């Protein structure tokens, strides 16, 4: 769960992004003529602020293992497993294939 400190960090980051979009550098009046590109960039920056505060588990919550693992090379998927575990899994896969 996200802490109140983390929520405050998100709020401050979001407000900073809002300010950068609504005020040109050195200007004191709001610029409400936003282009579609500015709106998209703003949304991406807010997303980055939000994602930066999440744990890896929170980032992948709701995804299927295959959706996560497809982003890694096979050698990276096996990292941390010992040879016996890998061989046992291969035996199980071969049994299932027959």
From first to last of its 98 residues, the chain has per-residue pLDDT tens of: 456 676 677 677 777 777 776 666 666 666 566 677 877 787 788 788 778 878 899 889 999 999 999 999 988 988 999 999 999 999 999 999 87
CA–CA distance, 74 with 84 (Å, rounded to integer) = 17
CA–CA distance, 24 with 67 (Å, rounded to integer) = 40
* Predicted pLDDT at 4: 65
pTM of the model as a whole: 0.47
Alpha helix positions (H), the chain: 4-22, 36-52, 56-60, 65-69, 74-78, 83-97
Domain spans of the chain, in order of start: 4-97
* Predicted pLDDT at 12: 75
CA–CA distance, 37 with 20 (Å, rounded to integer) = 14
């Amino acid at each position: 769960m996200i802490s109140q400190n983390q929520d405050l960090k998100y709020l401050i980051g979001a407000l900073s992004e809002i300010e950068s979009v609504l005020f040109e550098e050195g200007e004191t009046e709001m610029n409400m003529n936003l282009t579609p590109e500015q709106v998209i960039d703003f949304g991406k920056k807010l997303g980055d602020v939000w994602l930066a505060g999440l744990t890896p588990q929170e980032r992948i919550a709701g995804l299927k293992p295959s959706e996560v693992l497809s982003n890694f090379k096979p050698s990276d998927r096996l990292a941390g497993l010992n040879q016996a575990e890998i061989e046992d899994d291969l035996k199980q896969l071969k049994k299932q294939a027959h």
